Amino acid sequence: MFTTDVTDVTGYENTYRLMNNEQLLNLAQDRDSLCPEARVAFDSELAKRRLGQEQIDEQAECVRRGQIEDAQRKPLAKTYNGIGTSLYGKRNFGSDGSFTTTVWIVFLWIPLIPLKSVRVKNCGPATPILLGESRSYLVLSESHPDVRQVLNIYLFMLSFFIGAAMLDRIHGGSLVAYATLVVWGCMPWWMRRLARQHGN
């Protein structure tokens, strides 16, 4: 049980009174994080301005659309003829469809140096491009490069080059060559499936 301090409520009322409708509606998304005194004053100010759940939802949707438009205007990574930055890796899958990926400096599409890891979710349909597709992502958070993801990418690249060297030494018509080729080609799918099963 808590008691509401009238002095604190009055101070919050003065603060919210100076905010415009858009600011109040944006703050409504984080209402639960406010202290009890602040919630009392906040709810009172919303009632005075006749701002209800409908207006709150409309503002949330407007913010979401704005974030998506920003994501589409500012790509997370960009390459030219295989040189630049690119996204590699998917782990820590969330129930909302989000996941963690890492931005890399690439040369001929080969990841060399990790720059940062970001938690993202798809926003909008994929755009077909040569040998693949391009997607826009809504960035939920950023962090230093995820160590496990970086190690997995380096491990995959190492296994890729080892596999390529082995194939070059195997006679093309042998059963072993075909079996090795199948295993080698399935590695990205297998690693992605393993990451989803373990939630990482």
Q: Report the sign of the C-alpha dihedral through residues 38, 18, 51, 56, in that order.
A: negative
What 3-state class would DSSP assign to 144?
Answer: coil
* Confidence (pLDDT) at 171: 56
* Residues 4, 36 contacting (CB under 8 angstroms): yes
Total Cβ atoms within 10 A of residue 153: 19
From the centroid of its chain, how far is CA 98?
A: 6
* Residues 71, 139 contacting (CB under 8 angstroms): yes
* Confidence (pLDDT) at 144: 93
Q: Note the pLDDT tens digit of each residue in 53-74.
A: 888 888 777 777 766 666 555 6
pLDDT band at 138 (very low <50, low <70, confident <90, very high): confident
pLDDT band at 169 (very low <50, low <70, confident <90, very high): low
* Residues 82, 109 contacting (CB under 8 angstroms): yes
* Residues 89, 111 contacting (CB under 8 angstroms): no
Q: Note the pLDDT tens digit of each residue in 19-61.
A: 888 888 888 888 888 888 888 888 888 888 888 888 888 877 7
C-alpha angle 190/181/146, rounded to 5°? 35
> Which residues lie closer than 8 Å to 99 by C-beta, 6 or more apart?
90, 91, 92, 93, 119, 120, 121
Name the nearest CA neighbour of 25 among 3, 4, 38, 42: 42
Higher pLDDT, 173 or 43: 43
Whether residue 166 has pLDDT greater than 90 = no
